[in-house]
Amino acid sequence: MIDKLKLGIVYNEHKKIVNHRSLIKVFLNPFLRLVGFQIATVYDKKSNELYGVKFLRCRKIKDVIYKYKLEKNWIVKRRRMLI
């Protein structure tokens, strides 16, 4: 099951970070968004480096949704299971 979640750092065809998926974010964010918060990944666009995670306010949602679509030209490199 974990392999099907496509966890890790997602890069586009230009080797730029597009997304970061970890177990904590995949399972907790849908519930946190119900109350207007989310766990976000901190990264530097210039150096294309990840630095960690932090809590942010976001728009509240009404339903728990686990949707995520990888584009055809995106690839998942390293696996980071927790953060």
pLDDT at 82 over 60: no
Q: Are 42 and 56 in contact (CB under 8 A)?
A: no
Q: Among candidates 83, 29, 78, 22, which has minimal Cα distance to 56?
A: 29
Q: What is the pTM of this model?
A: 0.69
What pLDDT was estimated at residue 35? 93
Q: Residues 13-26: what's their mean pLDDT?
A: 86
pLDDT per residue as tens digits for the range 25-73: 888 988 999 999 999 988 888 898 888 889 999 988 888 766 666 777 7
Strands 75-76 and 49-57 turn out to be unpaired
Six token digits for residue 69: 């679509």
Q: Coil, strand or helix: which one is 3?
A: helix
Q: How far is CA 17 from the centre of its chain?
A: 11
- Would you give the distance in Å from CA 47 to the centre of its chain? 18
Going from N- to C-terminal start, the domains of the chain cover 2-65
